[in-house]
Amino acid sequence: MTARLTFGIPVYNGERFLPAALRSVQEQDLADIRIVISDNGSTDATQQICLAAAAEDPRIEYHRYDENRGGIWNYRNVLALSRTELFSWMAADDIKLPGFASATIAALDAAGPAAAFACPRTQVIDADGVIYEDLNDAQLGLDAPTAHERVRNLLRSQASHLMYGVIRAEAIAATRGIRSSLGDDMVLLVELLCAGRMALAPEQLFLQRRHDTQVSVLGASSTTWFAPGRSGARSFGETQTNIELYRGVAHAALPFGEKLRTWGTLGPSWVFPRWRAVVRDVLNFIGVAPGAGRLRAQRAAQSQPVR
């Protein structure tokens, strides 16, 4: 039987959570899947974990690279290694429950070619796998009839976890792929929603793990995750994300009027509410540490004589 879906797992030093993540895709209730792992030069037990799993499961394809080329390269690489009509990124610390594949594919098939991707509802787990949050993602409005409505609803919700749904390969091909910017997930989702709707599988089948060693928690140091060796202070990360959003809409195959309306949603829904982040980009570039102004004010207050 020819597989319809590839799970792509980019990993670097993932020994802590990888076994559970890998097991979760192996236990999907849909047999005709491929599992592609791209190991970005791990120095821990990741290689041994992957080799052992691949030896037992012929659906697993393990690729190891000696050099760490950065997270963006690794996410692009698992996509390039996919040869199926459907694709799903799988972070090496998340969990996809057994019905994930069948439910999302069923939702995608039911929605027809107007849907670019599908995603189930999501819960958040901690490092120990304990669920501590239900994401409010049942009524996101990403099945709206027009691109500008879908993009507006996405940006307002900031539902970046939807990147880990099941995506049509042809829909990804219509985008510019993952961009090397801090908001790569949101940029990609905007481009996908310009290409088509999101189909929702109403079950809670995706567990997104949040822990204190992941990129999104490490803050400024996450810049080097995109390209090792690059200076975070000079990356203008937030500004670059804004630019990529506008470029993404420009790239989309939308009628010109709809393209203008979609561009018009970016400012009020994303750029303007995040103006402080752009200011931080400038302050980082000129060497002013975050909170320096508040610190100076506190010191000035402390130096005033007591009356």
Which domains, from first to last, does the chain contain?
Answer: 5-211 (3.90.550.10), 222-288 (no CATH)
Query: Which tens digits make up the pLDDT trace of 259-287?
Result: 999 999 999 999 999 878 877 877 777 77
pLDDT at 288: 72
Divide the 307 residues of the chain into consecutive groups of 10 and give the mean pLDDT of each group: 92 96 96 95 97 97 95 96 97 97 97 97 96 95 98 96 97 95 93 98 97 62 56 68 95 97 97 84 71 44 39
| Closest to 103 (Cα-Cα) out of 16, 225, 184, 201 | 201
pLDDT at 297: 41
Q: Let me know how long the chain is.
A: 307
List Cα–Cα distances, 204 to 95, 111, 124, 130, in angstroms: 11, 19, 10, 15
Report d(CA 125, CA 208) in Å as an integer.
6
CA atoms within 13 A on the CB side of 217: 8
Report d(CA 141, CA 147) in Å as an integer.
11
Query: Which tens digits make up the pLDDT trace of 215-253?
Result: 655 454 455 555 565 555 556 778 889 999 999 999 999
Q: Quick check: 75 and 164 in contact, CB under 8 A? A: no
